[in-house]
């Protein structure tokens, strides 16, 4: 089974127990360091005893200058209460009760100059930090968790994929800053598209390949190569980070070294624009609409390009893409008298094209 089908399966089964590895969190979040100073971070799909997000923010609490870290876990999680326990302390809440952790102070108790797992284990033994039962089930949509969200500045987690659309819209609805993991298909939702249009993808996973750990009993019938029994990791294709924090990448100009040539860039049959099959081949001197692979968004600089819309579906209709030969709203080209569709495209326009060569 292909990795992206795993995503669909996870969605259908409401099987959301995929745990993010610490190195992946470190790799992404070091780009955001300046945003965390003096801020309250909320990880709202994170059992502090399982989550590497919690671990990351505790270990880096002082370095980032965090004001507060809040973590809540969900009663629906089958492994709530520490099966993948990161720490050498047990939750004080009774089994099956979701709880919240609030951290405001992290001491370097063993005096080695940094914060390590020994210090983390001490966290809830001192009176300053709090580990307490939630009154509800810890659902991110519950009034209790929404109030915690409102008290926080930045939400950071890997949320349940099955609820991704609702999750991100909740963050947007509450005016939150966020850095979260999600399926790349999330780009295409009508609710999330306006976000990515503005250059809101993070640095992401190499080639979109993410490896999450799962509880052993969740290891179901994965196809060869998807689940690695030795590591306990499942391979998901097409995962990315979504963020509305400003990052350097959004301001880096893509160097364009190709020139427009009608022989190389075919026009669409059902839209006023040309097809650019590779992001690296975007011509520097074309002022009109260009359909480019969706991976373009990973390096989108909103000062350089305008994202006009999507190349298929309802959002494509909105920008004037008409039906193809099969009746679908999907970008189509014609080659040697034969029409065919192009692979998933996003339509962009260069904001400052060079003068065309005469």
Ligand X SMILES: C[S@@+](CC[C@H](N)C(=O)[O-])C[C@H]1O[C@@H](n2cnc3c(N)ncnc32)[C@H](O)[C@@H]1O
Kindly tell me which of 52 and 244 has the beta carbon lying closer to ligand X: 52
Kindly tell me which of 148 and 290 has the beta carbon lying closer to ligand X: 148
> What is the smallest separation between the CB atom of 83 and ligand X, expressed in angstroms?
11
Contact present, 180 and 241 (Cβ < 8 Å): yes
Kindly tell me which of 75 and 89 has the beta carbon lying closer to ligand X: 75
Kindly tell me which of 132 and 352 has the beta carbon lying closer to ligand X: 132
Kindly tell me which of 197 and 238 has the beta carbon lying closer to ligand X: 238
**Please, which residues bridge with residue 242 across strands?**
180, 201
Within 44-151, strands assigned E span 68-72, 99-103, 130-133
> What is the smallest separation between the CB atom of 353 and ligand X, expressed in angstroms?
41
DSSP structure string for 244-268: -S--GGGGPPPP--B---TTTSPBB
> What is the smallest separation between the CB atom of 22 and ligand X, expressed in angstroms?
10
> What is the smallest separation between the CB atom of 142 and ligand X, expressed in angstroms?
8
Helix (H, G, I), strand (E, B) or coil at 347: strand
Dihedral sign (CA 291, 294, 295, 297): positive
Contact present, 311 and 331 (Cβ < 8 Å): yes
**Maximum CA pair distance of the chain?**
76
Kindly tell me which of 42 and 305 has the beta carbon lying closer to ligand X: 42
> What is the smallest separation between the CB atom of 60 and ligand X, expressed in angstroms?
16
> What is the smallest separation between the CB atom of 304 and ligand X, expressed in angstroms?
32
Q: By CB under 6 A, name the binding residues for ligand X.
A: 16-20, 45-46, 51-53, 74, 76-77, 138-140, 157-160, 163
What pairing do the DSSP bridges indicate for beta strands 154-157 and 345-350? unpaired
- Tell me how far apart the alpha carbons of residues 328 and 313 are, in angstroms, rounded to a whole number: 8
């Amino acid at each position: 089974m292909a990795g992206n089908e795993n995503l669909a399966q996870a969605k259908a089964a409401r099987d959301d127990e995929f745990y993010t590895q610490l190195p992946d969190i470190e790799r992404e979040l070091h780009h955001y360091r300046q945003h965390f100073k003096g801020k309250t971070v909320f990880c709202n799909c994170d059992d502090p005893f399982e989550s590497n997000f919690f671990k990351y923010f505790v270990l880096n609490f002082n370095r980032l200058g965090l004001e507060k870290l809040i973590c809540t876990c969900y009663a629906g999680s089958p492994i709530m209460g520490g099966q993948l326990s990161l720490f050498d302390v047990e939750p004080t809440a009774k089994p099956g009760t979701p709880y919240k952790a609030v951290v405001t102070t992290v001491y370097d108790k063993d005096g080695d100059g940094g914060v390590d797992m020994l210090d983390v284990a001490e966290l809830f033994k001192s009176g300053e930090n709090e580990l307490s039962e939630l009154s509800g089930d810890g659902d991110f949509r519950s009034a209790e968790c929404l109030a915690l969200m409102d008290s926080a500045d930045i939400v950071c987690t890997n949320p349940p994929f099955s609820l991704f659309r609702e999750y991100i819209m909740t963050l947007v609805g509450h005016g939150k800053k966020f850095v979260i993991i999600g399926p790349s298909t999330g780009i295409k939702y009508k609710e999330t598209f306006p976000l990515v249009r503005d250059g809101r993808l993070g640095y992401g996973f190499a080639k979109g390949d993410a490896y999450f750990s799962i509880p052993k009993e969740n290891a179901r019938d994965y196809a060869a190569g998807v689940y690695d029994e030795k590591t306990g990791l499942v391979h998901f294709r097409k995962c990315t980070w979504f963020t509305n924090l400003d990052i350097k990448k959004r301001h880096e100009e893509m160097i364009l070294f190709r020139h427009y040539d009608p022989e190389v860039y075919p026009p669409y049959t059902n839209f006023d624009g040309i097809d650019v099959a590779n992001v690296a081949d975007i011509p520097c001197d074309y002022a009109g609409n260009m359909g480019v692979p969706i991976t373009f968004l990973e390096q989108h600089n909103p000062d350089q390009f305008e994202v006009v819309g999507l190349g298929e579906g309802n959002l494509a209709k909105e920008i004037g893409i008409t039906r193809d030969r099969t009746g679908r709203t999907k970008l189509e080209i014609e080659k040697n008298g034969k029409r065919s569709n192009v692979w998933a495209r996003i339509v962009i326009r260069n904001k400052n094209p060079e003068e065309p060569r005469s």
